[in-house]
Homo-oligomer: A and B are copies of this chain.
Amino acid sequence: MKYKITLILLAALMTGGLFTARSQTQVVEDFKPSSVNQPGKEYPMVNSEGRVRVQISAPNATQVQLDISAVKYDLTKDENGVWIGESAPQDEGFHYYQLWIDGAAVPDPGSLYFYGASRWGSGIEIPAKDQDFYAMKNVPHGQVREHPYYSKTSNSMRRCFVYTPPGYSKETNKRYPVLYLQHGGGEDETGWSNQGRANLIMDNLIAEGRSVPFIIVMDNGTWTMPRPQRNREEGERPGQWPPQGWADGFMNTLLKDIIPMIDANYRTLTDPEYRAMAGLSMGGMQTRVIALANPDVFSYVGLFSGGSISTEDVNNAPGFEENIKLVFISYGSRELENQRRGPWGDPKENTEKLKEAGMNTHFYVSPKTAHEWQSWRRSLYQFAPLLFKN
């Protein structure tokens, strides 16, 4: 009996002394620094299970927690005052997270920062099996341009980011279609190129010949101004008009400021058949409202985790059926499992009925992802090759 216990202890020591820790949670010890760490920072790390391990020196703290995907994980303190610990496995792709130090919610000093959840804060990248489509590669690259401009509708300076595709600077006689691409609630005009990697997705698609090159305009759809008085002289428009208040202000800016500014400053194809709009979550809902109200402005429509368009919507929006060349609807599979799909009915059913009614539709489900950026990266990757080819 004594001999047997010695053997077990010996075995535990030989496996690195981790027997006790592993008896509670089996953690695979193959952690690597996250790809979106600050330069030279070892932590946060991610392992092959998708667990996030963080580390921070806080010698006088009594409680430190990792807060990710709405769960808080207690860290443990070593003899040097350094706290360390890890989360349960996370879905593939990008997640926001934060640390709690004795009741204070703060960014992790080891990670890069991203704007989401209405704050600049930490983000982490769980390597995905399909991460190649948004990887930085040695292919021709477009540029992301920070573009300040004066907005008449808000009498203020605004800014957008504009992706110009590879070749734009050299082929100076060529004109390009434009996609207006919107972020979600609590995010801003930086989201699609930072955590969304829209520029790399496009660079890679164009390098493979799978997408025509086009310009992408990423502006700020958050609207906190008081709702402007409706101009009665414009008359009534049916269906989605007037749109919900939260889309109204941005629609005004988009139509009166942004599109004319882009057409004046970039070599765009200005015919509506070369103009698309898409967005994620709140940006998808804005796209829905704005496209239904303005089918003479856009020809391609993408709603990523942002509702769907029904035959009734289309029937109430004159010109939409005739002019719109594609209605693209997408969701993360976990959103559909959880019935998170907005107040506009079942998105798959709506999209199928629209197809039966004769419209060109595309329904995409991102496997094993939720209401998160991996769903939206994949949505753009599916959406872009369908644009401007009709």
Contacts and interface: CB of A to CB of B under 8 A. Distances in A.
Contacts of A145: 143-146
Interface in A190-245: 193, 199
Of A39, A149, A157, A162, most B-chain CB atoms within 10 Å: A39
Contacts of A150: 138
A88 interface: no
Interface string A96-131: 000101111111010011000011110000000000
Contacts of A56: 104, 106
A320 to B, nearest CB: 33
A23 interface: no
Interface string A134-155: 0011100101111111100000
A104 B141 contact: no
Interface string A41-81: 00000000000000011111111100000000000000001
A344 interface: no
B141 A61 contact: no
Of A104, A112, A119, A150, most B-chain CB atoms within 10 Å: A104
A106 B145 CA distance: 30
B60 A120 contact: no
A206 B120 CA distance: 32
Contact of A101 (B39, B101, B143): B101
Interface in A144-181: 144-150, 157, 162, 169-170, 172
10 contacts: A39-B118, A40-B118, A60-B62, A62-B102, A99-B106, A101-B104, A107-B107, A143-B146, A143-B147, A170-B265
A102 B138 contact: no
A139 B202 CA distance: 32
A24 B133 CA distance: 61
Contacts of A62: 60, 102
Nearest to A149: B141
A150 to B, nearest CB: 5
A145 B145 CA distance: 4
Interface of A: 38-40, 56-64, 81, 99, 101-107, 109, 112-113, 118-121, 136-138, 141, 143-150, 157, 162, 169-170, 172, 188, 193, 199, 265-266
Of A106, A112, A149, most B-chain CB atoms within 10 Å: A106
Contacts of A39: 118, 188
A106 B108 CA distance: 7
Contact of A102 (B102, B137, B143): B102
Contacts of A193: 146
A61 B103 contact: yes
Contact of A104 (B58, B118, B199): B58
B103 A81 contact: yes
Of A38, A112, A144, A193, most B-chain CB atoms within 10 Å: A144
Nearest to A61: B102
B120 A113 contact: yes
A199 B38 CA distance: 25
A81 B103 CA distance: 9
A104 to B, nearest CB: 4
A212 to B, nearest CB: 21
A182 B38 CA distance: 20
Contacts of A136: 148, 157
Given A119-B38, A149-B141, A265 B169 contact: yes
Contacts of A170: 265
